[in-house]
Homo-oligomer: A and B are copies of this chain.
Amino acid sequence: MLDLAQYVPWLLNRAARSVADAFSRELAALGVTLPMWRVMASLRRAGPQRLGELSSLTAIETSTLSRLLGQMQQRGLVRRARSHGDARAIAVSLTRRAAALTERIVPLALRYEQAAVRDMSDSEIAILKRLLAQIHENLGVLMHDKSAD
């Protein structure tokens, strides 16, 4: 009873770290960190975003994200411009250089995903994706509903 090797939270944590560690090393050679890559992938997919929206998309805290964007701006990866409609908000967008770099990273990222799910059937992969999303939803609800106990 309660063998870590059969305990879902532990298996989840270990698998996530294996993937993140492996891909981080690859990204380091390109001068990009994993959180930076998440920002780049999100902006590539969704287009220019406000900091708050980007925080939701990447699940990075706004204070962490603000400083991260500062670093990325220094490296010429993102632009921060005042929003037209709301002068409090900023519009974060990829520079041309970062967009090109992102296109170079995408195939690497897909290769890492393939390495992670190697030897799994398409239907298993589909199940995996669905269950991982469900876990996030199950616990996300639990976290925001403090009366759950």
Contact = CB atoms under 8 A, between A and B. Distances in A.
Interface of A: 1-23, 25, 38, 41-42, 44-45, 57, 59, 106, 109-110, 112-113, 115-120, 124-125, 127-129, 131-136, 138-140, 142-143
A129 B11 contact: yes
A9 B112 contact: yes
B119 A124 contact: no
B2 A41 contact: yes
A143 B21 contact: yes
Given A11-B136, A22-B142, 10 more contacts: A3-B45, A4-B41, A4-B42, A9-B16, A12-B19, A13-B16, A14-B136, A15-B135, A17-B59, A127-B131
Contacts of A21: 139, 143
Contacts of A125: 8
A117 to B, nearest CB: 6
Q: Is the interface of A mostly helix, strand, loop or mixed?
A: helix
Contacts of A116: 8-9, 12, 135, 138-139
A18 B139 contact: yes
Contact of A9 (B20, B139, B142): B20
29 contacts: A1-B106, A3-B45, A4-B41, A4-B57, A5-B133, A6-B129, A8-B19, A8-B129, A9-B16, A9-B20, A9-B23, A11-B136, A12-B16, A13-B19, A15-B16, A15-B133, A15-B135, A17-B59, A18-B135, A18-B139, A19-B139, A21-B143, A22-B139, A115-B138, A115-B139, A116-B138, A124-B127, A127-B127, A127-B128
